[in-house]
Amino acid sequence: MSISHRRLRESLEPLAGSLKKIRLSRQTPCAPSLNGYVLGMSDQWLLLWQFHDFYPDGFTIVRMDGITSYRCGEYEEFWTNMLRQENVATELPSMAIDLSSTKSVLRDLQKTDQNFIVESEAPDKDIEDFYLGRATRIQNTQVKFASFDALGQ
């Protein structure tokens, strides 16, 4: 872990599990910024309760090494207060995902028996691979993923 990555992680840690909205900046062409509340983190992953304007937009798990910076200032505090007053975000949801490894993340997602999205964020590609579906089997280095497209096929 680089020194700047370690500092970023250490500065984000106090925000995990708090009702303090943040804005993440990332090294990805598809979603270079994300807004929400940090539910948990590890050396490798960060779990965010994501928001789009006034609406919760589900949960996202992003690589810590892909985060370039974050903001948790006056603007985010204003949104936090507004969402609380509108009864949209008065408490954090419980999301039991073990973030200690990629395998544990995938296993916990598999246990939810819900569809989820996996995106490849290769830095040398302008368009990211996007898969929607469920993990059906997880082995040491392989995941069997039953996916479908926007038409449900």
Using CB atoms within 10 Å of the CB of residue 86, give its burial: 0 to 12 exposed, 13 to 18 middle, 19+ buried. exposed
Residue from 139, 142, 91, 97 nearest 116 by CA: 97
14-50 pLDDT tens trace = 999 999 999 999 887 677 899 999 999 999 999 999 9
Q: Is a pLDDT exceeding 70 seen at residue 107?
A: yes
- Tokens (6 digits) for 69: 């910076």
17: left (phi over 0), alpha (psi -120 to 50) or beta: left
- Tell me: the pLDDT tens digits for 53-106? 888 989 999 999 889 999 999 999 999 999 999 999 999 998 889 999 999 999
Q: Which pLDDT score, from 0 to 100, does residue 1 have?
A: 54
DSSP 37-77: EEEEE-SSEEEEEEEETTEEEEEEEEEGGGEEEEE-SHHHH
- The model's pTM: 0.87
Token pair for residue 34? 């994300």
Question: Which residue range(s) make up the domain with 135?
Answer: 3-148
Q: Which residues are CB-neighbours of 149 under 8 A, at least 6 positions away?
A: 132
Q: What are residue 147's DSSP bridge partners?
A: 133
Domain count, the chain: 1
Q: What is the pLDDT of residue 91?
A: 92
Q: Is residue 153 part of a domain?
A: no
Tell me which residue of 124, 117, 127 sits closest to 59, measured CA to CA: 117
From CA 102, how far away is CA 147, in angstroms rounded?
A: 19
Domain of 69, CATH number, reads: 2.30.30.100
